[in-house]
Structure 1
Amino acid sequence: MTAAPEPLMTTGEFEELARVAGRVSEGVRLEYVEGNLGAKTVPDGDHGCVIEWLMRDLIVLRPELWLFPNRGLQVDSYRTGRARPDAALAPTGVFAGESEWADPTPVLMVVEVTSRDHDTGRREKSRAYARTGIPVYLLIDREKGSVVVRSNPVNGEYERILIQPFGAEVSIPDPVGITLDTEPLKAWVS
Structure 2
Amino acid sequence: MTAMVHEPPTRAAEILLESFHDLETPEGFRAELIEGEIVVSPPPGGAHEMDLWCLVRQVTLHSSARMDYSGHKGLKLRRGGRCPKNHIIPDGVFIPHELDLLREADPWMEPEGVALVVEVTSSRPDGDRRDKRHCYAKGGIPLYLLIDRERRMVSLFSEPRSDAGKEDYLQVTQVIFGKPLDLPEPFSFTLDTSELD
TM class, shorter-length: 0.7 to 0.9
User: Separation in 2 of the partners of 1:75 and 1:158?
Assistant: 15
* Match of residue 48 from structure 1: 49
Structure having the higher Rg: 2
- Superposed displacement of residue 119, structure 1: 3.7
Does the Cα contact within 8 Å between 1:8 and 1:35 map onto a contact in 2?
no
Identity of aligned residues (%): 31
1:99 has 2:106 as partner: yes
Residues 125-144 of structure 1: pairs in structure 2 closer than 5 A: 125-144=132-151
User: Separation in 1 of the partners of 2:45 and 2:93?
Assistant: 19
- Superposed displacement of residue 72, structure 1: 0.7
Name the CA shift for 1:9/1:127 in 2 (closer, same or farther; >3 Å): farther
User: Separation in 1 of the partners of 2:157 and 2:14?
Assistant: 28
Task: Give the letter for the 2:59 counterpart.
Answer: L
Name the CA shift for 1:29/1:143 in 2 (closer, same or farther; >3 Å): same
* Match of residue 127 from structure 2: 121
* Alignment partner of 2:70 out of 68, 71, 96: 68
Out of 126-135 and 27-36, give the one that drifted further. 27-36
* Alignment partner of 2:87 out of 75, 82, 88: 82
Does the Cα contact within 8 Å between 1:33 and 1:76 map onto a contact in 2?
no
- Superposed displacement of residue 173, structure 1: 2.5
1:12 has 2:18 as partner: yes
- Superposed displacement of residue 12, structure 1: 3.5
* Match of residue 33 from structure 2: 32
Does the Cα contact within 8 Å between 1:11 and 1:81 map onto a contact in 2?
no
Name the CA shift for 1:51/1:65 in 2 (closer, same or farther; >3 Å): same
Cα deviations across residues 72-130 of structure 1 (Å, max 9, x unaligned)?
Answer: 11113468110001001112342112211111101011000012x13442211111100
SS at match of 1:39: strand
User: Separation in 2 of the partners of 1:14 and 1:177?
Assistant: 38
SS at match of 2:195: helix
* Match of residue 5 from structure 2: none
User: Separation in 1 of the partners of 2:189 and 2:178?
Assistant: 16
User: Separation in 2 of the partners of 1:119 and 1:142?
Assistant: 9
Does the Cα contact within 8 Å between 1:33 and 1:75 map onto a contact in 2?
no
User: Separation in 2 of the partners of 1:8 and 1:127?
Assistant: 22
Structure 1 unaligned runs (5+)? none
Over aligned residue pairs, what C-alpha RMSD do you find? Answer: 2.1
How high is the TM-score relative to the length of structure 2? Answer: 0.81
